[in-house]
Structure 1
Amino acid sequence: MVGMKEIVRVAAVLLLLIGLILASGCTEGGLSGGGEGNSGGGEEGVLPVGDEGAGSLAPQEARTFIEMDAPIVVDVRTPAEYAGGHLAGAINIDSSSLGNRIGEMDPNATYLLYCKAGVRSGNALGLMQDAGFTRVYDIEGGITAWKAAGLPVVQG
């Protein structure tokens, strides 16, 4: 039986997709410029949100995803990098310890990962997929691209 929380989540995802399609002007490249780097199972240029999927999101897409779907945001950089500035609400799990801590994480939850430039988070995404996580995404270009897009970070 489908609960109210699931209905609300599905409605939020549908509204997000409609808004993103309208915001993109329905152009041929879509939201991510042709889907390059998007390893999600959906069509190119469409935000890969759903019950099963993984992929990379441009910083603006990631911001909308955080606002609409409330994923668990994981900063996979070192504690020192995290302290220097991170996304609000992000938890810090250093990529070097993720393999040891993955058993503490809910494989049914939705995750958004990031690092400095996207390499470590991309590797972490693959590790999580291999461990059976189906709803895991990362930010293209990491926090560097996030800041370049003028999006906020918090210190401490």
Structure 2
Amino acid sequence: MSDYQRISVEQAQRLLATENAMLLDMRDAPAYCQGHDPRATRLSELNLRTLLKSTPNHVHLIICCERGHASCDMTQLFSDFGFINCYSLDGGYEAWKARPQRARPNQRAHTAHYALAME
């Protein structure tokens, strides 16, 4: 039995409009750097432990992957660690970038994300 929910892009956008939500993008570094939502934090093996330990468990966590399948397992992991508001993005980044307001391509402000992702 899963302890998380699958949500649509529209539902995720509404959650992200609040201050109590976090978007985690678990795609690989090259895919993330080609385009991602500017509010996203790249989730990788390098920062997983830190995120699990330092993120308050009441934060609404929205996890996305490429198409919405791998994020289900990761969302369940966060739920297993006591996070009470875990969501897997239905359709993943493919659905996210198809929304009317598209994700921005890599910009200078996101160079640090790429450097961290490549470590």
TM over 0.5: yes
- Residue 103 of structure 1: CA displacement? 2.0
The answer (yes or no) to whether the contact 2:20–2:59 under 8 Å persists in 1 is no
CA distance in 2, matches of 1:64, 1:99: 25
Residue 49 of structure 2 corresponds to which residue in structure 1?
100
Question: Sequence identity, in percent?
Answer: 21
Q: 1:110 aligns with which of 60, 66, 79?
A: 60
CA separation in 2, counterparts of 1:136 and 1:69? 15
Give me the whole-angstrom Cα distance separating, in 2, the residues matched to 1:136 and 1:127. Answer: 9
5+ unaligned residues in a row in structure 1: which ranges?
1-38, 40-52
Deviations 1:37-67 (A, max 9, x none): xx6xxxxxxxxxxxxx731111122112212
Q: Take 1:131 and 1:155, find their aligned partners in 2: how far apart are those partners?
A: 32
**Aligned-residue offset at 1:110:** 1.8
SS of the residue corresponding to residue 17 of structure 2 reads helix
Aligned to 1:77: 27
SS at match of 2:4: strand
**TM-score normalized by structure 1?**
0.58
Alpha-carbon displacement from aligned partner over 1:67-88 (angstroms, at most 9, x marks no partner):
2465111111122211111112
For 1:62, the equivalent position in structure 2 comes to 12
Question: Unpaired segments of 5 or more residues in structure 2?
Answer: 107-119
Aligned amino acid, residue 39 of structure 2:
G
1:152 paired to 2:102: yes
Q: Retained in 1: the 8 A contact 2:24–2:64?
A: yes
1:68-117 Cα deviation digits (max 9, x unpaired): 465111111122211111112111112x4465332233223221111111
Find the aligned partners of 1:77 and 1:146 in 2 and give their Cα distance.
13
In 2, the alpha carbon distance for the partners of 1:77 and 1:97 equals 13
The CA RMSD measured in Å over matched residues stands at: 2.1
Q: Report the Cα distance in structure 2 between the residues aligned to 1:64 and 1:79, rounded to whole angstroms.
A: 26
The question of whether the paired residues in 2 share the 8 Å contact of 1:125 and 1:136 is answered with: yes
Matches within 5 A, 1:6-155: 54-68=4-18, 70-94=20-44, 96-97=45-46, 99-101=48-50, 102-155=52-105
Q: Paired residues, what number?
A: 104
TM-score of the aligned structures, taking structure 2 as reference length: 0.74
